[in-house]
Amino acid sequence: MDAHAKVAPTAGSSSSSSSSSSIKVASETSRLQRLRAHLFENDISEEMELQPYMRERLVKKSELWAFFLLGFGYLAMSNTATAIFQPLMVQQVARSASHLKSSPSVPCPTLDTDIPLGDKCVVPLGFMRVEPTSYALLVNVVAVWCTTVVSLGTSAFADHGRISKKLLMFFCSMLAIATSFMFVGPLIPELWWVSGLLMVIALIFSGVTLNFYDAHIPILARHHPTVVRAMVKFGEDSIECNEARVRMATFLSGGASAAGFAGGVVLTVMAAIVLMSTNASSLMIGYCLIMSAVFVLIFLVAYGLLSYQRTSPALPEGANRLTFGYVRIYKTIRQVRRLKTMFYYLSAWFILGDGLTSASNIAILLAQSQLKATNDALIGAAVLQYVSAGVSMWFWIWLQNHKGVRPLQVIIANSCLFGLIPVYCLLGLIKSNPVGLKQTWEMYMLASLFGLFVGAIYSSNRVVFSQFIPLGHENELYALFEMANVSASWIGPLICAAIIEGAGIRHTWWFLVAQFFIPAVMMVFVDVEKGRLEAVEFYKVEQAEKELEKMQRQSGSKSEPTGIEIASIVDSEKEQGEDV
């Protein structure tokens, strides 16, 4: 009996313990489900209220996570591997393979101090022989030309069907693969040129990926519940709806830039650990590039799982898949008179974007060639730049959201402030002057200032430009936007390379001063509201042209639509909208 008496409570307590742990597990599961719903899902009542007003589904929190996580991975790689490690490796590998200009068969000494007076190291580039520093800049020029051709051919194509997500993931994957094989150059000295070739290929894939990534901003902003609510309450063309779109675009663009700089800090610190624990050779930089490729692939997988492919109109009947992108962008450029503000803005961004790229390249190459900065020092400067950029991003977003500062004002202010950096560097031309990027501490100071200004410029530029894009032209016109930036990026390096060959690297700052103050003055005359209305009108006229073409196909007519016919359809659509 005693035994049974003892067993009974034990069995009871076991059952009680089992049910208690089941309740605990269920509670934990429920808590995780609530957390997941809070982080990744929208409010159901809000969706039921707003979804009927949209053909496409509302933006979910999971889509925003996908956008920012890809920014954390891809923009980090772009800021770190593409901007620092790739040109650094190409320059170092070219220096190792260089020969004396006076005696092409004699390899260059390892130390610059051992180079005969009046002589210099050169490497072959096509039919030319250039210095290793110029070689890295000219490789970038070739990459820009190729990127322009590929971007224009693919980006407009992505505005149709359900393919933009697949294209983004494909190009980003190819970027990672090309980058990871750049270590072949330092590993096999006879194949030193492979690093330059792979840098060109990687930059092409990076440029196209950036087009597709930036095109998310107007699409996500347009379908976000906050913007849809303003559209339902005040009307699509109302000031309130436009302000809601601008605020959301500012949040998306600024958040993406901040995520990219945060990822850049993480990736740069990881690379610093690798380089500081080894001999920081070119081969070790190659291994850091492999690490950055793995880094971006991890977040690309997260993007693939969380993002949503939105449906765009199908390709026009009879369109050639290979030439459609070029034909469409040509047609858009032909209609420059209908998008005057956008093209004027692009011309200013053409100059400013070139200045940003050229200033970054020249600062890195000057620090390496004249300050003899080590790879560790350059990485430290990069970390400072990313931290200051992240801090400044939140500061400028706060100013825009709480103090009413417009994105265009942010661009103008930061362009003028950035222009003071090359002015300061020009002081280095005075031999008796101890400053002007002559000391290592100046490199760290200028890297911090560079970060303070560059993040705000890039982020605000995307926001302003997104207001000039007609509906359905997001990928196509962001390709044009990046082309204006990237295409300009061959002009600056080309001119800087010529200045370096003729007068020396420090004289390049004269050219760079103009590249910041000229676009700042040009942007003072940009009317953002006028540009937005031009985009709306462009879309309406385009839809009217399509409607007329459809009617003519049905009637068997082959004549081109007249302006009067198009105007009558646009007017009838306006009247229908007013009736609604």
**Residues 468-492 pLDDT 10s:** 988 878 777 877 787 776 655 667 7
Of 457, 282, 220, 470, the closest CA to residue 353 belongs to 457
Res 550 pLDDT > 90: no
> For residue 121, what are the contacts with CB-CB under 8 A and spacing of at least 6?
95, 98, 99, 100, 101, 108, 115, 131, 132
pLDDT one-digit tens code per residue, 71-92:
999 999 988 888 788 888 888 8
pLDDT average, residue stretch 263-285: 85
Q: According to the model, what pLDDT value does residue 578 have?
A: 45
Rounded Cα gap, residues 524 and 409, in angstroms: 8
Q: How many Cα atoms within 13 Å fall on the side-chain side of residue 169?
A: 18
Q: According to the model, what pLDDT value does residue 38 have?
A: 55
| Count of residues in the chain | 580
pLDDT band at 48 (very low <50, low <70, confident <90, very high): confident
Distances (CA, A) of 333 to 1, 164, 195, 342, 440: 97, 22, 36, 11, 46
pLDDT band at 70 (very low <50, low <70, confident <90, very high): very high
With b meaning 16 or more CB within 10 Å and e meaning fewer, what string describes 222-246? bbbbbbbbbbeeeebeeeebbebbb
Q: According to the model, what pLDDT value does residue 168 have?
A: 92
With b meaning 16 or more CB within 10 Å and e meaning fewer, what string describes 469-507? bbeebbbbbbbbbbbbbbbbbbbbbbbbbebbeeeebbe
pLDDT average, residue stretch 13-33: 57
Q: What is the Cα gyration radius of the chain?
A: 28
pLDDT band at 14 (very low <50, low <70, confident <90, very high): low
Give the Cβ contact number of residue 161 at 10 Å: 14
Which range has the worst mean pLDDT, 53-57, 422-426, 564-568? Answer: 564-568
DSSP letter assigned to residue 110 = S
pLDDT band at 3 (very low <50, low <70, confident <90, very high): very low
Angle between helices 508-523 and 340-369 (to 10 degrees): 160
Structure tokens, 424: 């300061």
Rounded Cα gap, residues 530 and 467, in angstroms: 10
Q: According to the model, what pLDDT value does residue 577 have?
A: 46
Rounded Cα gap, residues 168 and 351, in angstroms: 27
Q: Determine contact, residues 202/351, Cβ cutoff 8 Å.
A: no
Q: According to the model, what pLDDT value does residue 19 have?
A: 58
Give the Cβ contact number of residue 385 at 10 Å: 29
Q: According to the model, what pLDDT value does residue 327 have?
A: 82
Q: According to the model, what pLDDT value does residue 413 have?
A: 93
Q: According to the model, what pLDDT value does residue 7 have?
A: 46
Determine what percent of the chain is predicted with pLDDT higher than 90. 18
Q: According to the model, what pLDDT value does residue 306 have?
A: 92
Rounded Cα gap, residues 285 and 299, in angstroms: 22
Which range has the worst mean pLDDT, 19-33, 317-331, 334-348, 443-457? Answer: 19-33
The CATH architecture of the domain made up of 59-308+323-536 is Up-down Bundle (1.20)
Rounded Cα gap, residues 528 and 350, in angstroms: 18
Q: According to the model, what pLDDT value does residue 4 have?
A: 47
Q: According to the model, what pLDDT value does residue 510 have?
A: 87
pLDDT average, residue stretch 251-272: 88
Distances (CA, A) of 400 to 17, 175, 259, 384, 391: 56, 34, 19, 24, 15
Q: Determine contact, residues 190/130, Cβ cutoff 8 Å.
A: no
pLDDT one-digit tens code per residue, 374-425:
777 887 888 888 888 888 888 888 888 788 888 999 999 999 999 998 888 8
Q: Where are the domains of the chain?
A: 59-308+323-536
pLDDT average, residue stretch 100-121: 83
pLDDT average, residue stretch 22-35: 58
Res 307 pLDDT > 80: yes
Element (H, E) at 390: helix 375-402
Mean pLDDT rounded to a whole number for the chain: 81
Rounded Cα gap, residues 571 and 137, in angstroms: 52
Q: Which residue has the higher pLDDT, 505 or 523?
A: 523
Distances (CA, A) of 518 to 67, 96, 260, 487, 505: 33, 39, 28, 18, 22
